[in-house]
Amino acid sequence: MNAIDNHLNDRQKEAVFCTEGPLLILAGAGSGKTRVLMHRIAYLIEERHINPYQIMAITFTNKAAKEMRERVDKLVGLDAQYVWVMTFHSSCVRILRREIERLNYSKDFSIYDTDDQKTLIKKVCKELGIDTKQIKERNALSLISAAKNELIGYEEFRQNATGYMEKKVADIYEAYQKALHQNNALDFDDLMLKTIVLFEKHPEVLAIYQNKFEYIHVDEYQDTNVIQYKLIKMLSEVHKNICIVGDDDQSIYSWRGACSDNIINFEKDYEDVEVIFLDQNYRSNSTILDAANAVIKNNTDRKDKALWSENKGGDKITVYSAANDKDETDDIAKKILDLKAQGIDYKDIAILYRANYLSRSMENSCMAFGIPYKLIGSLKFLQRQEIRDLLAYMNVIINRNDEFSLRRIINVPKRGIGASSMAKIDNYAEQYGLTLFEALKNIDMIDVSKKITTNIHLLTQLIEKYSQTEQYSIEDLIVGIYKDSGYESMLKESADTYAESRIENISELVSSAKQFSSMNDNLIDFISEMSLTSDADDENEDNSVVLSTVHAAKGLEYRVVFIMGLEENLFPSIRDAESSEDERNKMEEERRLAYVAITRAKEKLFMSYANRRMQFGSIKNNKRSRFLDEVPNKLMHFESGFGSAGNDIGESQLESVTKFISRLSPKIKITDKPKTDVRTNYAVGDIVVHKKFGEGKVLSIEKDSVKVDFEKVGPKILLIEYANLTRKE
């Protein structure tokens, strides 16, 4: 067993060797939980001689599952391939591909992503005569998704609906589900919901998988929602050898249905639960951990624990009090350049924020200072038009009932099929009770032009040709569709400046297919893999600073972390609290979010806030976040954008800085303030230069604004603080 338990601490070893019965591993941030899970699986296979086929390990992202798989492979070799190491969604897809015919679906069902869902909802609303200006697609989908994750079908949803909007959404929900079924398609939420329905309606199927999975492991258990909890509960009912790993202090997804009570109540759900704390942190130094512990201990709804590290000391946490949001992001950019000069790569630095809109100012500063950056959550590979088009072709090839995908490609490339021709095709299909594909097969019977008839024949022949999937490798099939459909000619002849980039993206898709088919040449599995890839699976392979929300950064780590925007009502943000209890719960989740942000840092941590911030078109004065006040002063080094030399300064001095700023607020009338602001280096009549508007003449200067007559765009009134005007000498 030496090969397996090497480098594990005593508590980690205890978790590895405790294999029988329910086990709760409370694993703090950076405590080596993945290492424990992998060694536990290896121990079961090599020492307990458990069949790998009987072991399941569930996590939330493909990236985490891939890492887990690779590490198990290294530990136990070829046997690892038989262990079910996958996400919740992937495991449900595998089960449904085998069993879904019992629910009156075929095994070649399509999986619709968010964009597909929105388009289908829009179509449904049009058919129902519902104005999407009144009920937005995303709002309807949000309510439907929440219902599914609470195991609420459209009948129960309708029964509980109150008010105009919910009743209309009930209509949408029913029509949406029927449209999905008609298209032999499932959305992401359906993957788990249909699995639960399958198990409930067919207990004999449930029994197969209960007996199969003798040992079940669930990572990040604090992030499970109602439906995920029920799925695991059902699967573990027979053997009860369930090992869950999580940290209630890192439960930050209540907004998408995650229930932190799942981990807190685990001991109530199972008898004779073994509880093991992993509290030694291997990621961060003691200064960072002491700060994180000091913040999170203010939460009451948690299991009492504190992380510790053998890595003692570390630099104090730098807290920067910025004059405004531009000052804040410029200071971060300057510090990043200093870190780069000290030998720290850009890719080892992350800038975290509570709200997505804060990235704009940070992006501007990165560009101004020549810092390469990468936004987590930007347009992903699989969301690009050309990739979605080719995947739609493949969906139709394996599932001709997928009307949605067929409609996407029917006129891509252009085949001359306008709205009137499409209406004729739809009417024919409805009249004879045909699917859209069957109607297209009978295009000779429909009153459309000869050109359209010819083009439709070519399309249906293409689909039928490549439906013989066993004759083609996945990469050959993609290339074949790309060429034979006319997509290649369309891009090569296009005047689109991004055409070359689109061709490169398709080349990358072919490369992905080739890599996938070296292990599995099943087209359905490939499409499933593509459909289940999420934003969180993106890796930062290039040497760029990462810009990310705290939510998106969970599970990641960096040598240096900047947490910006630490202001009340921004971080923490508890807007729309419905009661004092709701407010308390939201504040506790915000504090857990701060804890997650702090514990992403390995070596250095910088925190900042702006005393004045441009929000929704106006300047707002903000108090610094209470989370900063919860960190002991002895752990922090204070700096400010008001001429401070950077010495450690006390609370009283910080308060005086805030008071000074408040006196400059444009919302407060100050009668003795001169008309000309001392911060300007220009006067009325001077020629100034603006980054966007070019040259202009200063017409007037007020206490916080300047009026400039620009040569290109005419007179503009700008806020002095944000205008960045320079006088032309």
Tokens of 6: 């090497």
185: Cβ–Cβ under 8 A, 6 or more apart, which residues? 109, 110, 111, 112, 116, 399, 402, 404
Do residues 602 and 283 touch, judged by C-beta distance below 8 A? yes
The residue from 5, 13, 19, 34 that is catalytic is 34
Give CA–CA dist 139/133, Å, rounded: 11
Give CA–CA dist 662/176, Å, rounded: 52
Give CA–CA dist 521/515, Å, rounded: 10
CA distances from 709 to 78, 404, 576, 684, 688 (A): 73, 53, 43, 11, 10
- Asked about 576 being catalytic, the answer comes back as no
The residue from 33, 71, 335, 354 that is catalytic is 33
Strands 601-615, 618-621: pairing is: antiparallel
DSSP code per residue over 577-639: --SHHHHHHHHHHHHHHHHHHHTTEEEEEEEEEEEEEEETTEEEE-PBPHHHHTS-GGGEEEE
Cis peptide before 52 (omega within 30 of 0): no
The DSSP symbol for 280 reads B
Please write down the long-range contacts of 162-169, taking CB distance under 8 Å and 24 or more positions apart. 165/135, 165/139, 168/130, 168/135, 169/135, 169/139, 169/140, 169/143, 169/144
- Asked about 272 being catalytic, the answer comes back as no
Look at residue 300 and give its three-state secondary structure: coil
Give CA–CA dist 104/639, Å, rounded: 65
Q: Phi then psi for 243, rounded to 5 degrees?
A: -115, 115
The residue from 54, 61, 224, 250 that is catalytic is 250
Do residues 425 and 434 touch, judged by C-beta distance below 8 A? no
- Asked about 34 being catalytic, the answer comes back as yes
- Asked about 269 being catalytic, the answer comes back as no
The residue from 116, 214, 220, 348 that is catalytic is 220
Give CA–CA dist 42/50, Å, rounded: 10
**Could you report how far apart the first and last alpha carbons of the chain are, in Å?**
76
- Asked about 177 being catalytic, the answer comes back as no
Tokens of 245: 């790993």
Q: Is 685 left (phi over 0), alpha (psi -120 to 50) or beta?
A: left
Give CA–CA dist 539/65, Å, rounded: 14
Tokens of 404: 């949605």
Beta strands in 145-278 (DSSP E): 185-187, 215-218, 242-246, 274-278
Give CA–CA dist 431/446, Å, rounded: 12
Give CA–CA dist 513/526, Å, rounded: 7
Do residues 188 and 222 touch, judged by C-beta distance below 8 A? no
User: Cα dihedral angle (455, 460, 465, 467), rounded to 10 degrees?
Assistant: 150
How many helices (H) and strands (E) the chain has is answered by 31, 21
Give CA–CA dist 390/387, Å, rounded: 5
- Asked about 219 being catalytic, the answer comes back as yes
Q: How many CA atoms lie within 13 A of 583 on its CB side?
A: 6
The residue from 194, 586, 600, 612 that is catalytic is 600
What would you measure as the largest C-alpha separation in the chain, in angstroms? 86
Tokens of 270: 């199972």
Tokens of 566: 């630490």
Residue in 51, 545, 530, 28 with CA at minimum distance from that of residue 307 = 28
The residue from 79, 189, 190, 219 that is catalytic is 219
Catalytic center residues: 33-34, 219-220, 250, 600
